[in-house]
């Protein structure tokens, strides 16, 4: 029976000799598989490699060079996203978290080398396990390019990736318990934590607490302590922007923005929920999305910028690295941050000019800049440097990543723009990733059975060890050497493991925004370093 099924799959489907249809089928099935959630964890786009492995196992093929196109597109978009924070991570701000990310990746590579030697796992397979255990798709991309034709890389990645996802989520929950700390005491009560309560919401609050009446809004430190922003006040049945010198009066109503679980204590400290909450429409011309593009505000905290006094606007939300949070006064603005700003229309326009926002240039994808940037990266990658016989090249991954990092950091280099709108960048990143995964999986599928039979158990052991050891060492370094606060350290560990599901689980369990910021600081270092170390691992392990 099994033989008939295999024969049908290999010869009976209408996809044989139609590589384009095979590609579409592999991507569609893989993305559907990636949506399946088990205990709140899903594979996402990485599900494509599993459908591709099956297709490759039964002899299907994809269009030639599709993997190289996906690799260049994926690495370029990833580099643009990391560029604004990568180089600044070497400065004092974020330096400790960048070091934590570096530590995790280096320990992961060292553990991989030891596991490969001890268990006798081949170099290509071990390198794929390293990329999968650290959930690093850029690492896979670099390994596939550095080891062309080594299908074991894809096999190792596909097996280790689920281990990486599960181990990170488990670690951020178990480590605090091991050291006797409860995450809910650092944020909020654990039983009240759920996805619904973690949403950012607005509530209209009536001022009736005598302790705050007669005080300036800027004097109420608890608003920032609870990661809240007061964006508007009610005047003549209309919501208007909050003036810089607002003094709280009995019966005033303020619109407070925060995560749902943070609203209750703030409401209690200010007064009570206004009965008109949710019944008054927000003016459409009093808010704007501003993408930061001017170096005058990059690297400065909201406290230093004093936007309400200087520009009459309030930043209520920040979108960074595809994660949204309510900022505190101590949070620094990074290049490429998308700010949700509230104020009068003229003030918003003035602030947008000050922040370097250009609506058309940031909302539209410049395909010429995209093509030139990718081409420049590919060209740089083939340039050999060195003396005599000792020559080397950055390769497709290294060249493209370097160009993207520089363009992302500078924002513009002559006529070439280093910015792609977030929606377009996410689409292009996912498109490049699924093409890369499909090509790697189909190429690895032919050797899947043999590799699993020979190294199956050892691969599972290696994947678990390579995922757990770097996080353990990172926790020790973060706690005793870098002396980071627990939540900040755990967020940095998630960044070092490039695990978005991990930081999502951490913020949900703790009710704190801190891990999101530290994740964003450690992630770029880990991302870039992985693309280098997988090449080193392939060389060391032969």
Asked if residue 215 belongs to a domain, the reply is: yes
Please tell me the predicted confidence (pLDDT) of residue 511.
63
Question: Rounded to whole angstroms, how far apart are CA atoms 303 and 370?
Answer: 36
Please give the radius of gyration of the chain, using alpha carbons only, rounded to the nearest integer: 25
Asked if residue 242 belongs to a domain, the reply is: yes
Please tell me the predicted confidence (pLDDT) of residue 431.
87
pLDDT tens across 121-168, in order? 888 889 989 998 998 878 888 888 777 767 788 888 888 888 888 888
Question: Rounded to whole angstroms, how far apart are CA atoms 3 and 500?
Answer: 41
pLDDT at 181 over 70: yes
Please tell me the predicted confidence (pLDDT) of residue 267.
87
Q: Among the listed ranges 1-5, 28-32, 312-316, 405-409, which one has the minimum average pLDDT value?
A: 1-5
Tokens of 249: 């009066």
Average of per-residue pLDDT across 101-120: 92
Three-state SS sequence of 323-350: EEECCCCCCECCCCCEEEEEECHHHHHH
Report how far apart, in Å, the C-alpha atoms of 426 and of each of 63, 402, 431 are: 24, 19, 8
Specify burial of residue 410 (Cβ count, 10 A radius: 0-12, 13-18, 19+).
middle
For all residues of the chain together, what is the average pLDDT?
79
Report how far apart, in Å, the C-alpha atoms of 151 and of each of 25, 114, 437, 440, 494 are: 21, 22, 12, 7, 28
Asked if residue 222 belongs to a domain, the reply is: yes
Q: Which residue has the tokens 């390769």?
A: 395
Please tell me the predicted confidence (pLDDT) of residue 540.
86
Please tell me the predicted confidence (pLDDT) of residue 196.
47
CB 441 within 8 A of CB 154: yes
Q: What's the predicted TM-score (pTM) here?
A: 0.59
CB atoms within 10 A of CB 133: 34
pLDDT at 338 over 90: no
Please tell me the predicted confidence (pLDDT) of residue 477.
93
Task: Give the H/E segment covering residue 230.
Answer: strand 229-235
Contacts with 76 (C-beta within 8 Å, 6 or more apart), sequence order: 370, 373, 374, 377, 400, 401, 403, 404, 432
Average of per-residue pLDDT across 429-451: 77
Confidence band of 466 (pLDDT split at 50, 70, 90):
very high
Confidence band of 317 (pLDDT split at 50, 70, 90):
confident
Asked if residue 511 belongs to a domain, the reply is: no
Please tell me the predicted confidence (pLDDT) of residue 146.
78
Question: Rounded to whole angstroms, how far apart are CA atoms 399 and 75?
Answer: 10
Tokens of 493: 């560990």
Question: Rounded to whole angstroms, how far apart are CA atoms 423 and 44?
Answer: 17
Write the DSSP string, 57-95. Answer: HTT----TTHHHHHHHHHHHHHHHHHHHHHGGGGSSTTH
Average of per-residue pLDDT across 226-245: 82
Query: CA 538, 532, 394: angle at the middle one, nearest 5?
Result: 95
Supply the range of the domain harboring residue 249: 190-273
Query: CA 452, 455, 458: angle at the middle one, nearest 5?
Result: 125
Asked if residue 515 belongs to a domain, the reply is: no
CB 351 within 8 A of CB 343: yes
Please tell me the predicted confidence (pLDDT) of residue 72.
84
Please tell me the predicted confidence (pLDDT) of residue 310.
82
Asked if residue 219 belongs to a domain, the reply is: yes
pLDDT tens across 349-406, in order? 888 888 887 655 556 677 888 889 889 888 887 777 655 555 566 677 778 878 888 8
Asked if residue 124 belongs to a domain, the reply is: no
CATH of the domain at 199: 3.30.70.1450
Please tell me the predicted confidence (pLDDT) of residue 104.
95
pLDDT tens across 57-96, in order? 787 888 877 878 887 888 788 778 767 666 665 554 568 8
Q: Among the listed ranges 9-13, 37-41, 436-440, 512-516, which one has the minimum average pLDDT value?
A: 9-13
Please tell me the predicted confidence (pLDDT) of residue 390.
54
Please tell me the predicted confidence (pLDDT) of residue 358.
61
pLDDT at 15 over 80: no
Confidence band of 189 (pLDDT split at 50, 70, 90):
very low
Instruction: Provide the number of structural domains found in the chain.
Output: 1
CB atoms within 10 A of CB 243: 12
Q: Which residue has the tokens 């978005």?
A: 500
pLDDT-above-90 percentage for the chain: 7
Please tell me the predicted confidence (pLDDT) of residue 291.
81
pLDDT at 471 over 90: yes
pLDDT at 284 over 60: yes
Three-state SS sequence of 119-185: HCCCHHHHHHHHHHHCCCHHHHHHHHHHCCCCCHHHHHHHHHHHHHHHHHHHHHHHHHHHCCCCHHH
């Amino acid at each position: 029976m099994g033989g008939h099924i295999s024969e049908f799959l290999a010869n009976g489907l209408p996809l044989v000799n139609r590589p384009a249809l095979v590609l579409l089928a592999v991507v569609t099935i893989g993305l559907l598989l990636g949506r399946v959630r088990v205990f709140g964890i899903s594979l996402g786009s990485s599900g494509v490699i599993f459908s591709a492995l099956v297709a490759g196992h039964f002899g299907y093929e994809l269009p030639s060079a599709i993997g190289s196109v996906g690799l260049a597109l994926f690495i370029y978009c990833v580099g643009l996203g990391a560029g604004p924070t990568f180089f600044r991570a070497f400065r004092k701000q974020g330096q400790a978290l960048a070091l934590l990310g570096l530590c995790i990746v280096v320990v992961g590579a060292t553990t991989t080398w030891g596991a490969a030697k001890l268990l006798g796992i081949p170099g290509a397979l071990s390198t794929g396990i390293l990329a999968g255990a650290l959930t690093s798709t850029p690492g896979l991309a670099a390994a596939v390019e550095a080891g062309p034709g080594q299908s074991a890389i894809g096999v190792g990645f596909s097996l280790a990736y689920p281990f990486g996802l599960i181990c990170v989520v488990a670690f951020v929950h178990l480590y605090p318990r091991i050291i006797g700390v409860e995450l809910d005491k650092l944020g909020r009560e654990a039983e009240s934590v759920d996805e619904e309560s973690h949403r950012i919401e607005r509530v209209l609050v009536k001022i009736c607490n005598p302790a705050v009446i007669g005080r300036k809004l800027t004097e109420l430190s608890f608003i920032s302590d609870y990661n809240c922003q007061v964006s508007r006040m009610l005047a003549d049945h209309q919501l208007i922007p909050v003036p810089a010198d607002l003094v709280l009066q009995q019966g005033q109503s303020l619109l407070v923005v925060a995560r749902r679980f943070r609203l209750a204590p703030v409401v209690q400290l200010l007064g009570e929920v206004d009965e008109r909450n949710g019944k008054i429409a927000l003016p459409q011309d009093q808010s704007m999305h501003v993408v930061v593009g001017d170096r005058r505000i990059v690297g400065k905290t909201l406290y230093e910028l004093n936007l309400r006094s200087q520009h009459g606007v309030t930043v209520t939300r920040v979108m960074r690295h595809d994660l949204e949070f309510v900022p505190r006064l101590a949070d620094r603005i990074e290049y490429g941050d998308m700010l949700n700003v509230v104020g009068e229309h003229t003030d918003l326009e003035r602030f947008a000019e000050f922040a370097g926002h250009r609506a058309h240039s940031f909302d539209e994808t410049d395909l010429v800049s995209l093509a030139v940037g990718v081409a420049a990266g590919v060209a740089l990658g083939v340039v050999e440097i060195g003396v005599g016989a000792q020559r080397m090249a950055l390769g497709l991954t290294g060249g493209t990543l370097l160009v993207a990092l520089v363009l992302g950091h500078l924002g513009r280099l002559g006529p070439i723009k280093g910015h792609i709108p977030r929606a377009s960048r996410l689409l292009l990143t996912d498109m490049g990733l699924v093409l890369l995964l499909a090509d790697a999986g189909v190429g690895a599928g032919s050797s899947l059975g043999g590799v699993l039979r020979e190294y199956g158990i050892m691969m599972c052991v290696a994947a678990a060890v390579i995922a757990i050891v770097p996080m353990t060492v990172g926790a020790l370094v973060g706690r005793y050497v870098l002396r980071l606060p627990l939540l900040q350290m755990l967020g940095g560990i998630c960044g070092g493991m490039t695990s978005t599901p991990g930081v999502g689980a951490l913020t949900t369990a703790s009710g704190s925004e801190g891990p999101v910021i530290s994740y964003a600081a450690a992630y770029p270092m880990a991302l870039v370093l992985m693309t280098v170390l997988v090449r080193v691992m392939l060389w060391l392990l032969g």
